[in-house]
Amino acid sequence: MCEMLAVAAPTPIAIEDILEWSRLLDEYGLAGYGWGLVWADGTQLYRYRSVEGIRKDITAPRALRHLTVQRAIVHLRRPSLMTTIGHVNVQPYLTPDNAWAFSHNGYLKRYHDYRADYAAHLEGTSDSEVGFHYWLDQRARGLSLQDSLIATHRTLQGQANFMVLGRDGTLAVYAGNEENDVYTFRLGAISLATTALHSFDRFVFDTIFPGAQDIQRLDRGTCWQLPAG
């Protein structure tokens, strides 16, 4: 029952803007049990994570102040399994080579069937981390970014919205959670994607992004992708 946000700006924007949108998504959504942020500078990924919800996190404003970013994804956590509360389960996840970040909103109901396959690589206990490693396997097999996300959901089943970010700035969003729609939109020149607060209306735009333009709901089972930039 997490919320997620993806941001792609043509020029660097202040991190404070992204943090404010994220705080509101946390407030109106069902999150509050940890949060994480990953951003790309074209050659490297950087990550900040906290087991505190973003509105309770007193470290983030100091640690991230004055930062500017162009490509970023935010994950605001409300675990499907409350026993998984803990730092190792806070998303987004990073690949071992720091090339990709991955985050998930929903519940992958077949994760138990694949957990043993990745036991040597798992740090935490969540269904999402199993999905992350399954997705890595699909990429290693040569599947495209879009096809690998689709395959991960089809195999692990359940509810799944995914957001992935490459260190070169490539950004992809997959919609597959029937309980939490994904929308793409613009704020001026900035392109964004957001989950919908588990609300079957457009409340997210009334309260958090009132200036949104070109609002589109992603069809379930489809991806929105932006190339490196």
DSSP secondary structure letters along 61-125: HHHHTT-EEEEEEEEE---SSGGG-SGGGPSPEE-TTS-EEEEEEEE-TTHHHHHGGGTTT--S-
Q: Record the pTM.
A: 0.95
- pLDDT tens sequence across 155-178: 999 999 999 999 999 999 999 999
- pLDDT tens sequence across 2-26: 899 999 999 999 999 999 999 999 9
d(CA 77, CA 39): 18
Q: Classify strands 68-76 and 159-166 as parallel, antiparallel or unpaired.
A: unpaired
CATH fold group of domain 3-106+161-226: Glutamine Phosphoribosylpyrophosphate, subunit 1, domain 1 (3.60.20)
pLDDT (mean) for 18-37: 92
